[in-house]
Amino acid sequence: MFISISFKEDVMLSLLRRLRDWQTEKIDVGDNAESGFTLIELMVVLLIIAILLAIAIPTFLGVTGSANDRAAQSNLTNGLTEAAAVYQGNSQTFAGIAGILPNSAPEFSWVSSSTTPTAGSNQISVATVDVAVGGTALSPTNDAQGVILAALSKNGNTCWYATQLNATPVNLTNTDTNGQAFETAGVGSLGGQSGATKAGTDYAKSTSTGNCKANYPEARVGGFSWGSSYSNAPTN
């Protein structure tokens, strides 16, 4: 029995040696050996990679930028919904809304009309504006029938604005120097500007991110333009 087992082991070892020798011979002759790349082949591969990157990177950046803008726009849309709820529960006026929203809509971080929101945050700048008051620009009667919201996109390159007017704007007789946002087409006003001559919701954007504040539209010299949607929001 011992001789039989030993014989079988010798046979197996012999077969393994022959298999190893056969594989070594195959590698030596180059049948299964890994061949290297030539310099031209490497250059072609690198060129293809460079072309793919040149196509992919701008697309990626464009998608990322669009997503950042959509996030800011979503915050403003939801913010207007919250402001509308406050308006109804506040005797149908936006007066004092900046002090009410932090408690009624704590999911957002509300900042003053003169404060620039932090890029990529849920901060929204809010300002109350007058829309259809009587008198003149130099002697106005406040009605607080409008609100302006501002948010800065995550990339920090674009400021988005949204406004809700609950009355049709009127034109006052004198040049507006008191920041009555939608009442006259005078310097520092919004009235008479595109999209701001009717009651409803309007949108705008600005690349002047240092002025990403809710009070900027009414203070902007030369007027401020609005559009009926985010997609056609004019750049101010």
Please report whether residue 140 resides in a domain. yes
Please report whether residue 34 resides in a domain. no
Average pLDDT for residues 222-230, to the nearest whole number? 82
Range name among 9-18, 24-33, 125-134, 149-158 with the lowest pLDDT average: 24-33
Q: Quick one: how far is CA 73 from the chain centroid?
A: 7
Cα–Cα dist 179/189, whole Å: 6
Contact between 212 and 218 (Cβ < 8 Å): no
Closest by alpha carbon to 161, among 67, 76, 74, 75? 76
Please report whether residue 138 resides in a domain. yes
Range name among 48-52, 162-166, 228-232 with the lowest pLDDT average: 48-52
Please report whether residue 23 resides in a domain. no
Please report whether residue 92 resides in a domain. yes
Would you say the C-alpha torsion 149, 201, 61, 157 has a positive or negative sign? negative
- The tens digit of pLDDT for each residue in 157-190 reads 899 999 998 888 776 544 444 444 454 433 333 4
Please report whether residue 2 resides in a domain. no
| Count: domains in the chain | 1
Containing structural domain, residue 185: 39-219
Please report whether residue 231 resides in a domain. no
Q: What does DSSP say about strands 123-129 and 109-111: parallel, antiparallel, or unpaired?
A: parallel
Tokens standing for 170? 């009127």
φ, ψ at 231 (rounded to 5°): -65, -30
* pLDDT tier at 151, thresholds 50, 70, 90: very high
Task: Count H helices and E strands in the chain, helices first.
Answer: 4, 7
Residue 117 pLDDT greater than 70, yes or no: yes
* pLDDT tier at 141, thresholds 50, 70, 90: low
- What pLDDT sits at residue 111? 95
Question: Within 10 A of 24 (CB to CB), how many other CB atoms are there?
Answer: 10
Question: Within 10 A of 49 (CB to CB), how many other CB atoms are there?
Answer: 10
Report yes or no on whether pTM surpasses 0.75: no
Q: Quick one: how far is CA 154 from the chain centroid?
A: 5
Residue 210 per-residue DSSP state: G
Please report whether residue 16 resides in a domain. no
